[in-house]
Amino acid sequence: MSQSVEQSPQQKAILLIAHGSRRQEANDDLIRLRDMVHAAHSEQIVEYAFLELAHPTIPEGAACCIERGARKVLLFPYFLSAGVHVVDDLNNFKTEFEKKWPEATFLICPPLGLHDLMVDIVFDRIEQAE
């Protein structure tokens, strides 16, 4: 009797990626988001990284995911649209990581963008301002 091998949740990681800022308060938002995502799915490896101006860098974040046992890393751009950073920079990182860690799979998630829930967020922020 053969058993099927299931991928353990720890083999998959989410790497939350933001631009990075000279203002630590802005960078702290991504750290808080990481904590919130991990709290919602504590079985999941969740890390964060910055494109520039802050640490950990995207390569450092990817390395952390691999060191923690991830064999599938979801690169999640915490960006509003698919601009140069999301399309070009993340694809370049993905190619680099696939060469460095051929045993792992790297996937780029869509940016936040024009998701249906964005309208709710817009009106929530408008209410906060009023």
Quick: pLDDT tens for 86-125.
Answer: 889 999 999 999 999 999 999 999 999 888 999 999 999 9
pLDDT band at 2 (very low <50, low <70, confident <90, very high): very low
No. of helices (H) and no. of strands (E), the chain: 5, 4
Q: Where are the domains of the chain?
A: 9-129
Answer yes or no: CATH 3.40.50.1400 is held by domain 9-129: yes
Distances 64 to 48, 49, 125 between C-alpha atoms, Å: 9, 10, 34
Residue 5 has pLDDT above 70, yes or no: no
Distances 26 to 31, 69, 73 between C-alpha atoms, Å: 10, 29, 24
Residue 4 has pLDDT above 90, yes or no: no
The set of residues, in sequence order, having a beta carbon less than 8 Å from that of 109 and lying 6+ positions away, is: 74, 75, 76, 77
Query: What are the pLDDT digits (tens) for 28-72?
Result: 999 999 999 999 999 999 999 999 999 999 999 999 999 999 999
Q: Is 66 helix (H, G, I), strand (E, B) or coil?
A: helix
